[in-house]
Amino acid sequence: MVSGSSYQVRAYNIKHNYDVKDFLEAYRLMLQKTIDEVWSRIAWVEKHIKGKRRVIPIIPKENSFKHHYLRSILMKDWRYSKHYVDSAIKQAYSILHSWRRNYIKGERSREKPIVKKKFVRIKETLYSFRDGKIKISIKPYEEYLEFDISRAWFLNRARGEMGELILGEKYLTITFRFRERVTKAEEKIAWDSNEKSLDGFNPKIGWIRMDLTELFHIHRVYELKRRRLQSRASKKPKLKEVLKKYSRRERNRARDLIHKLTTQLARTFKGYIHGFEKLNRERMLTYSKKHNRNMAKSDWKIIYKFMNYKAETVTLNPKNSTRRCSRCGMLLNALKGALYECKSCGLRINRQLNAAINLYLQMEGLSPSPKLFKELMRAWSGFTLTGEEADEGSNELKRSPKLMNPKSYVCPPKTT
């Protein structure tokens, strides 16, 4: 049993078509400028911690600097709504405090944080929500962004108060915050592993997707490097050494990333039991190239190993998890493409989601049936983010697990 009271945030993404590039870039520059200004005024103080001599940064926080000086210099060439200046100051401090904590722990170097991601956090007080429409001011009395979410799938599922918004180039992330007493029997999430994503399923949360394209990309980069090298057939003895070096780097980069991803998963779904497929030959044959297959294999091993010490895990039998219909239990002979279409009951569902549901059923010791399927799909609520994830220093937007739309499947018309 896991119990206690915790503060929960659920986040939902909606796609938008506004051209906000210039605005986001201007904000990014302002945020960086704020960090630069604060950084240049950091006092480095020598201290003895646990017998070691350390140089500790003291971040300036006097009112005259933080609210008057900073505000006035930033305001000079800011053409958008003024409240973004205050947001940038707040965010810059949050980034620097996060950097400082990690620096003291020895996890970051004495290097100024650089803002690369283009997104703006918009506090509750800086937008309006009326009649199903979110209105965000960009330039006062001049430019507004309006998002009609009255028909969004998550509105009648979301609990709590609408909180901070995060505006990105293509998506607007809407958060809902609420306090929840967590008292649950051991909740389970089953994970289906794929080349570009980890797809999890739990009936209360729904379909959770962890994007692995960054991991895929790392392998791709090294594959290209290797190929380029191998085409230059000269200098053979040296070649071997360089290839070895590449493999080592590739492995290390993949490990680092998996470390971050699994920490995020374990934190986000604290108290859950995570089910992972046992590695077998059948699953790994779905990768076309030998190298990709080996990489996927070693990635998977690391994912499982890391999750195993960060959370409670169980292993599952992958047999037929992709081929079986999670609604009626029929086995499909040939799988084609991303869609699973059951010839027997007519279910049309994303292939990874189907596999994850099958694995979940296995975890609970249940067999698929249309009635059970209906029950499992009814309770989808939303995806849970913990407060810790608001770590500004990391690329948290990309790395957070995403909640997928519950309408990601089509049930056949009622005939049975």
Residues that bind Zn ion (CB under 5 A): 325, 327-328, 330, 342, 344-345, 347
What is the C-alpha separation between 303 and 198, in angstroms, rounded? Answer: 10
- Taking each helix axis as running N to C, give the angle between helix 370-378 and helix 351-364, from 0 to 180 degrees, rounded to the nearest 10: 100
Of the two residues 369 and 395, which places its CB atom closer to Zn ion in the complex? 369
Largest CA distance in the chain: 76
Of the two residues 304 and 373, which places its CB atom closer to Zn ion in the complex? 373
CB of 36 to Zn ion, least distance (A): 59
Of the two residues 23 and 340, which places its CB atom closer to Zn ion in the complex? 340
Of the two residues 262 and 321, which places its CB atom closer to Zn ion in the complex? 321
Tokens coding 300: 């998977």
CB of 263 to Zn ion, least distance (A): 37
Tokens coding 51: 């017998």
CB of 345 to Zn ion, least distance (A): 3
Instruction: Evaluate the CA torsion angle 318, 200, 274, 153 in order and state its sign.
Output: negative
Burial of residue 190 (number of CB atoms within 10 Å: 0-12, 13-18, 19+): buried
The one-character DSSP state at 107 is S
Of the two residues 205 and 342, which places its CB atom closer to Zn ion in the complex? 342
Tokens coding 147: 């998002």
Of the two residues 9 and 342, which places its CB atom closer to Zn ion in the complex? 342
CB of 121 to Zn ion, least distance (A): 44
CB of 352 to Zn ion, least distance (A): 16
Q: CA gyration radius for the chain?
A: 24
CB of 347 to Zn ion, least distance (A): 5
CB of 322 to Zn ion, least distance (A): 14
Of the two residues 159 and 343, which places its CB atom closer to Zn ion in the complex? 343
Reported as type and span, the H/E element at residue 163 is strand 161-168
CB of 327 to Zn ion, least distance (A): 5
231 and 217 Cβ atoms separated by less than 8 Å:
no
Reported as type and span, the H/E element at residue 372 is helix 370-378
Cα 248 to its chain centre, rounded Å, is 26
Alpha helices, H only, 80-164: 83-104
380 and 205 Cβ atoms separated by less than 8 Å:
yes
Tokens coding 275: 């089910």
Of the two residues 346 and 406, which places its CB atom closer to Zn ion in the complex? 346
What is the C-alpha separation between 201 and 76, in angstroms, rounded? Answer: 50
